[in-house]
Amino acid sequence: MSRYTQLSLEERCSIARLREAGQSIRQIAATLDRQPSTIARELKRNTGNRVGYQPAYAQAQTSARRWTGSRLERDDDLRNAVLGRLAAGWSPEQIAGRLAHEEGRKIISHETIYRFVYAQLKRTNDTKWRLYLPRAKIKRGWRTKGGWPRMQGKCSIHDRPPDIASRQMPGHWEADCMLFRTPGPAVLIAHERHSRIILAIPQPRLRAQTVADSLAQLLQPLAPSLRQSITFDNVLGWEAAPGKGQQVSLRRA
């Protein structure tokens, strides 16, 4: 039994010539002394949607599949396009979706982009590579089988009372911290749902007690009726105590 060998560039040129002449797969296989399945597989895997079957294109496709490195390392144009959009603030998900929309087919997955950036971080030991990513983290963090770890006892924002969701009653706030590309202090933002007023205060540390003290300081000048509750993004909600105005108690949003 003969051992299978990869098709050569000369054989691919013959396939293209015989295919253009109208010969069938079995006729081409007989001429090249190859199995019909080999010719069929070659035409199926290495025929482009626009260029059809071209020997040079087929040879490049075969070489690319045998490459063990990252696609972004061997494709300069694609790498420049991806890195340029990352530098402009695009996320890997947005880049993958836009490229697929422009080309009409999937070009690259967002996971490939993430793996490439984190591989550069590890290989070059240059932490500036993390600035290409939206969250600018050196590590992606822990993952569980069902996705990202979930907070125990967390309540959905949809469980809030109807008077908060309708924006008809003043005194209900939403809060979040604004982070920046460069590490350093953040800004604590509080948004009143009824009046749409926004208050901001610098936040030197993102610790629970520090944030609670800042919220109490931010809302202290307001009347008790104007500080009914606060819902914080992705964490338990903060409810301002209506009495003294100095205390902030933790409750579920």
> Of 65, 89, 110, which marks where a domain is finished?
65
The answer to whether position 138 is within a domain reads no
Q: Tokens 């919220």 correspond to what residue?
A: 215
Instruction: Residue 72: count other Cβ atoms within 10 Å of its Cβ.
Output: 21
Contacts of 59 (CB under 8 A, 6+ apart): 9, 12
The answer to whether position 143 is within a domain reads no
Q: What share of the chain is helix, strand, coil (3-state, %, to 5)?
A: 45, 15, 40
Shared domain for 176 and 227, answered yes or no, is yes
Round the average pLDDT of the chain to a whole number and report it. Answer: 80
The answer to whether position 128 is within a domain reads yes
**Residue 219 scores a pLDDT above 90:** no
Taking the CA of residue 38 as centre, how many other CA atoms within 13 Å lie in the half-sphere pointing to its CB? Answer: 18
Q: Tokens 């010719």 correspond to what residue?
A: 39
Phi, psi of 127 (to 5 degrees): -70, -10
Mean pLDDT of 133-143: 72
Mean pLDDT of 92-97: 92
The answer to whether position 150 is within a domain reads no
**Out of 19-23, 129-133, 152-156, which region has the weakest mean confidence (pLDDT)?**
152-156
**pLDDT, tens digit (0-9, with 9 covering 90-100), for 235-251:** 434 344 333 333 333 33
Do the Cβ atoms of 232 and 225 come closer than 8 Å? no
The answer to whether position 142 is within a domain reads no
Shared domain for 127 and 82, answered yes or no, is yes
What does the pLDDT read at residue 17? Answer: 93
Question: Dmax of the chain from CA atoms?
Answer: 93
The answer to whether position 140 is within a domain reads no
Mean pLDDT of 82-90: 91
What does the pLDDT read at residue 106? Answer: 87
Phi, psi of 125 (to 5 degrees): 60, 30
Distance between start and end Cα atoms, the chain: 71
Domain holding 163: CATH number? 3.30.420.10
Q: How far apart are CA 128 and CA 136, in angstroms?
A: 9
* Nearest residue to 234 via CA among 170, 154, 173: 154
Do the Cβ atoms of 251 and 237 come closer than 8 Å? yes
The answer to whether position 4 is within a domain reads no
Shared domain for 83 and 56, answered yes or no, is no
What does the pLDDT read at residue 165? Answer: 79
Share of the chain above pLDDT 90, in %: 23
- Residue 26, SS3 per DSSP: helix
**Residue 146 scores a pLDDT above 80:** no
Task: Using pLDDT thresholds of 50, 70 and 90, give the confidence band for residue 234.
Answer: low
Q: Domain of 61? A: 9-65
**Residue 193 scores a pLDDT above 80:** yes
> Of 28, 47, 65, which marks where a domain is finished?
65
Shared domain for 165 and 241, answered yes or no, is yes
Domain count, the chain: 3
Mean pLDDT of 131-145: 71
Shared domain for 168 and 221, answered yes or no, is yes
